[in-house]
Structure 1
């Protein structure tokens, strides 16, 4: 396949991603389901060449920006508060699931070496950041469960990758040391955090000095790959480095990035992440053809690997449930005598967390990267693919129903956060105080009467609205509906003037930008 054909195939894939995402939205299906099924269907189109998938390229291309984006939007306060719970999932649950899968695989296939069984366990153990992210966008969870899942998906890939590398090394060399593995894990994590910290604060200094917002957006968009590649280059965790960089950037972005750069950058980044997420699931579907060809065809797979692969899928599901209920039971036992201030999440919440373990791109990339000479490679590849399909097609599509069944209730916070209306009222009062201090000259003469009146009115209305939102909500919607109608009228006239040749392109673009900002402001206020 030459480069022109590869480019044509890539464009066709992007077009298919848009179409499949639209169809999934119309049908009410999770987008990953439509994308995987669509990708698998495209893989078997007669005459279509096999799409080459390099597992290392897949990890480097897709994982860093998705980790960065997740770290960018995660609630840092909640992340710090639930550090122990997240670590229990990101490290403990992955280790436990790896052990369970290794034991089950060895019982099913006694001829499979323990190293190969452990490699399979490490491949399928960590839930995928991409899959979890897409699932969470479609459901509503209490804050505690949401942060546990988000934090787990950010950090568990590091655990899985370390376990996988040691299992592969043990399978190829015949030696393994648990002490060395634990020490290496600590070294990789600490080294990755150090690299991420350096890059994150280097970006903060750059952002404060860089005046060109387009250069700043371009530099920020490359940050995830820089952190990941540099960390992997010095043989520490690229995952931890990327997450650390993302957390630092997220904390400082509110103060070092201008409003214009933030709006432009957010739009660019949202589209980029959409394409990357969709591309991940399309690649999973497209890889099905290669998996079947390597394993000897569909009939051979069903006859020799079908039942063991389904058993592995059952094993990871049951292991995750066992870990959730056992760890929650330990918390409950420790909470009774006052040994811990943490409260158990309860059986229904544990069921939701257990069912949310969806696998995806990391599992696929690790399975494809198993060396050809590694024992049991074909079974590892097939089992990994069955796990991906099973968790995406079953768990991702039914998670919303499980959450509805659970009827989860948001736990009361120690200190109730301000509502959006209350926060807006607090901002409006301080803004009015600032205007009031500077509205008069040195002789006490009022020099900004309209500005003072405008901010005083805004502060008064905001405070009143925060106290009675239900009373004012209908009037607010009617107000901004009228603003949007006025914007639409102004836009029609602006286009008419341009089409008639009465204004030039520069005037069109400047006034159009003003109308766009006014429209966005009205839509935001209305929502």
Structure 2
């Protein structure tokens, strides 16, 4: 009973802290950690003990799965080079920098422990930056790179983390063996995750029940993680591969109801798990500090401060260094192509034309924001908690990891929005629908209209289809005018506002009939669900149109 009460109390505290964070415009992860630290000072409040294996197996799979599920894989492939440079290169570079700095500051720390510390704090977490990024109109490519980095860097850092833990257990690992193990762990995890994803898709396609389909999709990430872990390969990459399969196939296999229900379920799960991890580490910090009471406090503070600085600076060095090398490589390639072209055919570089596959280089302001968006978050916290109990200087590593994470959250998290606005990279607010959405809605309305016009000649349903044609032709005309030149924006907004007013009137009438006893609660729930879905759609469009 105590664990139930403690869990419910923490969830209630998470809600209070999240509201406070929104009120004072601070990333809620910062408030959760500080709130957990403050709560740990309450006399008589027991410090929760988290089993390391439980921490990784319970918190990570759903959080990684939902990130993979939401990833735009076409945009991901287009920006694969910068994503891999951050997700693999930056992780390894940061791990090395932190390990070397930790060994220099703390000579008694074994290399395995130093590398584990580096792998724990290496991966930035897009969840930690999400609250800021969602409030701003950033270039889509920048968001894709940050989200793609967060998806893969968790896997790469945790594979290095796992190798470091294994090196401690085995007394050392040869570099070639470590590289081979890295490839085996990665390939095995991807294979198992892909297989679990395909089996999940097969099951969902045959259940025909949105509740069961949502449950199966939720359990798939845990299944991929546990099967991969039991096979001795990367459970993290297994979850990512499983989430990727579900995300790619969701549009063809999942029903509309399943997709709608899944969004609500995953939003709740994501908030609860993220919040619990942050508040749990805050609650445990005082116990960790108590176990470190015999150490030199100034030496610990100096090490924590310097390692946090190395963590932030190393990302800047890598991001700006790889950007400079990428520009240099593109410049050399352009010069080589220019020299190899005959003089008679000299002209614009085909590599920069509209059919080119080369992505334009981001500006230095965009690079600076990517470098500054290096907040560490839930994956690093779970990995720190997940260290084995007998790992050398475990409490010291958890403390250093926690302080580094807190430093990035407080310093970078609270200033990221200011940096973005100061650099002026926000995209201007569009009046009316964004061009891409307007064009997509024109295509959608055209397809609906063509189908109704085709069926208007049917002897059985032709009269009904003909009645609907005028309505859909009118809707298609509005979207054609909006997509063509931005016109009819006021007309569209008025139409949406009228539809929203009609939905509200319909709901009021339904509630009146329900109170009069003319319908039961089940029917009211079904009809109100339809109205809610329509109201959500209209409100979203009104936001874009206004």
TM-score by length of 2: 0.88
Deviation, structure 1 residue 507: 4.0
**What does residue 93 of structure 1 align with?**
90
Q: Which residue of structure 1 lines up, in the alignment, with residue 504 of structure 2?
A: 488
- Displacement of 1:313: 0.6
Q: 2: distance between equivalents of 1:172 and 1:249?
A: 36
In the alignment, which of 390, 394, 400 is matched to residue 383 of structure 1?
Answer: 400
Q: Check 1:225–1:370 CA distance in 2 against 1; reply closer, same or farther (3 A cut).
A: closer
- 1:328-352, CA deviations, whole angstroms, 9 ceiling, x for partnerless residues? 1110111112179454434322221
Q: Distance in 1 between matches of 2:460 and 2:113?
A: 84
The answer to whether residue 391 in structure 2 is matched with residue 394 in structure 1 is no
Q: Aligned residue for 1:414?
A: none
In the alignment, which of 297, 301, 306 is matched to residue 302 of structure 1? 297
In structure 2, the partner of 1:311 is 306
How far did residue 448 of structure 1 move? 2.9
Aligned match of 1:413? none
Find the aligned partners of 2:144 and 2:445 in 1 and give their Cα distance: 30
Displacement of 1:372: 4.7
Cα pair 2:420 2:426 within 8 Å, conserved: no
Structure 2 residue aligned with 1:205: 202
Runs (5+) with no aligned partner, structure 1: 411-416
SS in 2 for 1:141: coil
Aligned to 1:497: 513
**Which stretch shifts more, 281-290 or 128-137?**
128-137
- Where does 1:280-295 land on structure 2 (aligned, <5 Å)? 280-295=277-292
CA distance in 1, matches of 2:461, 2:489: 39
Deviation at 1:515, TM superposition (A): 3.0
Say if 1:98 and 1:122, in contact at 8 Å, map to a contact too: yes
Moved more, 110-119 or 237-246: 110-119
Counterpart for residue 238 of structure 1? 235
Matched residue pairs, number? 515
* 1:114 CA displacement: 2.7
Structure 2 counterparts to residues 415-494 of structure 1, below 5 A: 419-441=436-458, 446=463, 448-469=465-486, 471-494=487-510
Asked if 1:128 is matched to 2:145, the reply is no
Asked whether 1:345 is paired with 2:362, we answer yes
Q: Does 1:334 align with 2:329?
A: yes
1:40 touches 1:288 (CA, 8 Å); kept in 2?
yes
For 2:123, what is the secondary structure of its paired residue? Answer: coil
Judging changes above 3 Å, is the alpha-carbon distance between structure 1 residues 440 and 474 closer, same or farther for their aligned structure 2 residues? same
- Alpha-carbon distance in structure 2 between the residues aligned to 1:234 and 1:132: 34
Change (3 A) 1:493 1:100: same
Q: How does 1:78-89 map to 2 (within 5 A)?
A: 78-89=75-86
What is the CA-CA distance between 1:178 and the residue it aligns to?
A: 0.7
Check 1:132–1:65 CA distance in 2 against 1; reply closer, same or farther (3 A cut): farther
Where do 5+ consecutive residues of structure 2 fail to align?
335-350, 352-357, 428-433
What SS is found at the alignment partner of 2:172? Answer: coil
For 2:76 and 2:462, how far apart are their aligned partners in 1? 51
Task: Report if the CA contact (8 A) 1:484-1:519 is conserved.
Answer: yes
Check the 8 A contact 1:292/1:301 in 2, yes or no. no
1:297-322 alpha-carbon deviations (Å, 9 max, x no partner): 8xx56323000111111111111111
Distance 1:67 1:301, change over 3 A: farther
- Identify if the C-alpha distance between structure 1 residues 134 and 239 changes in structure 2 by more than 3 Å, giving closer, same or farther: farther
Match of 1:252 in 2: 249
State how far apart, in whole Å, the 2-side matches of 1:156 and 1:444 are: 55
1:169-208 aligned within 5 A: 169-208=166-205
> Any runs of at least 4 consecutive aligned residues in structure 1 with deviations exceeding 6 A, and if so which?
none
Structure 1 residue 385: Cα displacement: 1.2
CA displacement at 1:105 relative to structure 2: 1.7
CA distance in 2, matches of 1:240, 1:322: 27
- Change in 2 beyond 3 A, CA 1:385/1:510: closer
Change (3 A) 1:301 1:355: farther
Residue of structure 2 aligned with 1:63, choices 39, 60, 65? 60
Evaluate the alpha carbon distance shift between residue 223 and residue 187 of structure 1 in structure 2; reply closer, same or farther with a 3 A threshold: same
By how many angstroms is 1:129 displaced? 5.0
The verdict on how the C-alpha distance between 1:113 and 1:257 changes in structure 2, with shifts beyond 3 A counting, is: closer
| Structure 1 residue aligned with 2:17 | 20
